[in-house]
Amino acid sequence: MQGNLPPEAQEKIDELQDLQEQAQSLAEQKESTESALSDAKTALDALDEVDEGAQMYREAGEVLVEADYDEAKSDLEDKTDRLERRADQLESKEEQVRDQFESLQQELQQLLQGGGAGGMPGGPGGPGGAGGA
């Protein structure tokens, strides 16, 4: 069926598929980042419940090493800040991809309508639709 499409339309469909793949990758990265952020926040909350003088350990590769309370707290705060920035960057990139997708989808629809065909072949309704919770 796609053999009847003008080359310009097929090119736009290919670009839409690329954007879908990019959106799915971003969604996976964002989910992973948000999970790590949640873990870091949970660890910070738990650290608030610990006496500052308590003996503490942290993972260093596959071993546990003694850790200083202030250093551990500072490291967790830095990690949380980094992860929050990364999540914001991914959110922004997702929005850019979504906007590109919608714009390209409109261009394709106009191209197909101008050529006598109707509608967009089997699109997802937007790149954010891939993946779940």
For the stretch 3-31, pLDDT in tens is: 678 889 899 999 999 999 999 999 999 99
Instruction: Encode pLDDT of 26-73 as tens digits.
Output: 999 999 999 999 999 999 999 999 988 888 988 889 999 999 999 999
Residue found under tokens 């949970």: 42
Quick one: which H or E segment has residue 103? helix 69-114
Residue 53: strand, helix, or coil: coil
